[in-house]
Amino acid sequence: MAAPANEPTFRESVDLMFNRAVALMDLPPGLEEKIRVCNSTYTVRFGVRLRGKIHTFTGYRSVHSEHMEPVKGGIRFAMSVNQDEVEALAALMTYKCALVEAPFGGSKGGLCINPRDYDEHEMEQVTRRFAYELAKRDLINPSQNVPAPDMGTGEREMAWIADQYRRMNTTDINAAACVTGKPIHAGGIQGRTEATGRGVQYALREFFRHPEDVKASGMTGTLDGKRVIVQGLGNVGFHAAKFLQEEDGCKIVGIIEYDGALYNEDGIDVQSVRDWIVKHGGVSSYPDATHTAEGADVLEHDCDILIPAALEGVINLSNAARIKAPLIIEAANGPITAGADDVLRSKGTVIIPDMYANAGGVTVSYFEWVKNLSHIRFGRMQRRQEEARHQLVVDELERLDRYLGDAWSLRPEFKKKYLRGADELELVRSGLDDTMRIAYQSMREVWHGREDVTDLRTAAYLVAIEKVAKSYRAKGL
Ligand code: NAD
């Protein structure tokens, strides 16, 4: 989605936010420029014969920074894809990977296509041809450039891309690591599909662990009972909203989709809306909430937490002043323009920035890439050994239990939980939780520790740019 006409483009918006942060740093001007610019963008136009006619498609793969390789970033399928957008998204990937310490440079890809216009077989033909164009230029490669899902793509497309790369590189033992977000049977990892939404949940949990930060937003208490509005019930928005509703006691009062918004002050069941969308193609006829045709208006409704999880530029100069939520977590990339960011900051709105908030996806992608390179599932070597050691402790406790009689006994649920060694899903969740906590703490240290930093976004940029700069310096730049 293009930014409103009177506002900078998405890439310019990212640059403005970058500039605001580097103004507070002491970087040599040359290095500042080197970090900011996008290293390269490859444009491809290719034809595919569909329904007896040749269709020409345009796609992009942009590499923002190669201070670490491979570079990493999703592939988006949408009609709105353009060079400015992929470059902005590639830049965000550089900063995101640095912030969460995923050892990658930043990249992003996109194809101008509306996936709803084609059937599965046609989508496979187009995706394979796009993958072929990128792979033959090493823009898909386990050691150089590793894509992942983004808007309009998912496991299915990643499986086709992995298979296409393998066909072109039959002797590459690490072929599975050429792309992440694959289905489990094609080399994927447990927990990747929901990882970005899970990361949004972990980010909010960490925010609410710090009363000082909650106070800065003007709220009190915990996540329990907080009223949430989410925009976009796709991969990221659906999982984030579902987990917050089912596990943290949040009330989802608004859901905004491409065909309007649903609102119900008493809460909306996220899973049933998702099932409705799958069956009916949209939210407009959903029975248990009020439908508003002008979906974007609901961004301005009263709530505690606003989760834009669809497109960029949706909170801009035309509506920023009317946004009531005291806390916005940017599950999507770039949902708030630079101008809107200024307006919201001056109102005191706390914004948990995209480069942190949606980093769950790349974090679990990192685990998947490591799994593919090591050719072994996480936990396979340790799990039973861990269980055997725990059994020793339980045996001893049971001996004590017999000795103490009625005075003390081992609770059966403790025994069940303690005896189970961690499987891959539990390890992935633990790694993701740890990553989200540590990255948040690194941002808040700067946010509260420096007088010239008054928001989390600037803090995030400072932490990320410092890491990228150190890496360039170590290379002798
Ligand atoms: P998706 O395609 O699965 O879902 C997007 C949803 O937004 C869909 O349900 C779509 O119908 C809805 N939508 C489209 N236009 C809309 C509009 N005008 N108003 C409201 N809703 C609209 O995409 P996704 O993977 O969930 O990605 C969403 C955002 O999250 C993007 O900004 C993406 O870059 C970012 N992101 C995704 C991942 C990931 O792992 N998938 C990781 C990091 C960041």
Residue closest by Cα to atom 42 of ligand 1: 361
For residue 75, the SS3 value is: strand
Q: Which residues are catalytic?
A: 108
CA distance 352 to 366: 22
Model confidence at 475: pLDDT above 90: no
For residue 159, the SS3 value is: helix
Q: How many A from CA of 190 to the centre of ligand 1? A: 21
Position 4 confidence tier, pLDDT thresholds 50, 70, 90: low
CB of 236 closer than 6 angstroms to any ligand 1 atom: yes
Q: Tokens 């989410």 — which residue? A: 230
Average pLDDT for the chain: 96
Specify the fold of 10-194+441-474: Rossmann fold (3.40.50)
Residue closest by Cα to atom 37 of ligand 1: 150
CB of 176 closer than 6 angstroms to any ligand 1 atom: no
Q: In this predicted model, what pLDDT tens digit does every residue of 13-33 receive, in sequence order?
A: 999 999 999 999 999 889 999
Kindly give, in sequence order, each residue whose CB lies less than 8 Å from that of residue 334, ignoring residues fewer than 6 positions away: 10, 13, 14, 88, 89, 92, 312, 313, 354
What pLDDT is recorded for position 3? 55
CB of 358 closer than 6 angstroms to any ligand 1 atom: yes
What pLDDT is recorded for position 29? 81
Q: In this predicted model, what pLDDT tens digit does every residue of 305-353 receive, in sequence order?
A: 999 999 999 999 999 999 999 999 999 999 999 999 999 999 999 999 9
Q: In this predicted model, what pLDDT tens digit does every residue of 271-292 receive, in sequence order?
A: 999 999 999 999 999 999 999 9
Closest CA to 20 of 335, 341, 401: 341
Q: Which atom from ligand 1 is nearest to the alpha carbon of 78?
A: 2
Closest CA to 327 of 357, 292, 290, 294: 357
Work out the percent of the chain whose per-residue pLDDT is above 70.
99
CB of 332 closer than 6 angstroms to any ligand 1 atom: yes
Q: How many A from CA of 404 to the centre of ligand 1? A: 57
CB of 370 closer than 6 angstroms to any ligand 1 atom: no
CB 243 within 8 A of CB 331: no
CA distance 14 to 48: 34
Query: Options 3.40.50.2300, 3.40.50.300, 3.30.56.10, 3.40.50.720; which CATH number does 218-348 get?
Result: 3.40.50.720
CA distance 79 to 205: 35
User: In the chain, which segments carry CATH 3.40.50.10860?
Assistant: 10-194+441-474
Ligand 1 pocket test, candidate residues 81, 156, 236, 294, most atoms within 8 A of CB: 236
Stretch 224-229: mean pLDDT: 98
What pLDDT is recorded for position 5? 66
C-alpha to C-alpha distances, 314 to 72, 154, 243, 293, nearest whole angstrom: 25, 23, 24, 16
User: In the chain, which segments carry CATH 3.40.50.720?
Assistant: 218-348
CA distance 412 to 403: 17
Residue closest by Cα to atom 27 of ligand 1: 151
Q: What dihedral do alpha carbons 351, 352, 358, 359 form, nearest 10°?
A: 140
Position 406 confidence tier, pLDDT thresholds 50, 70, 90: confident
CB of 256 closer than 6 angstroms to any ligand 1 atom: yes
What pLDDT is recorded for position 58? 98
Q: In this predicted model, what pLDDT tens digit does every residue of 100-111 receive, in sequence order?
A: 999 999 999 999
Q: How many A from CA of 90 to the centre of ligand 1? A: 16
Q: In this predicted model, what pLDDT tens digit does every residue of 41-95 receive, in sequence order?
A: 999 999 999 999 999 999 999 999 999 999 999 999 999 999 999 999 999 999 9
CB of 232 closer than 6 angstroms to any ligand 1 atom: yes
What pLDDT is recorded for position 459? 98
Q: Please state the pTM of the whole predicted model.
A: 0.95
Q: Which atom from ligand 1 is nearest to the alpha carbon of 256?
A: 20
CA distance 268 to 233: 12
CB of 151 closer than 6 angstroms to any ligand 1 atom: yes
Q: Which atom from ligand 1 is nearest to the alpha carbon of 237?
A: 26
Model confidence at 2: pLDDT above 60: no
CB of 213 closer than 6 angstroms to any ligand 1 atom: no
What pLDDT is recorded for position 290? 97
Q: Return the number of other C-beta atoms located less than 10 Å from residue 299's C-beta.
A: 24
Ligand 1 pocket test, candidate residues 151, 273, 337, most atoms within 8 A of CB: 151
Position 1 confidence tier, pLDDT thresholds 50, 70, 90: very low
C-alpha to C-alpha distances, 159 to 54, 154, 175, 185, nearest whole angstrom: 25, 9, 12, 9
What pLDDT is recorded for position 37? 96
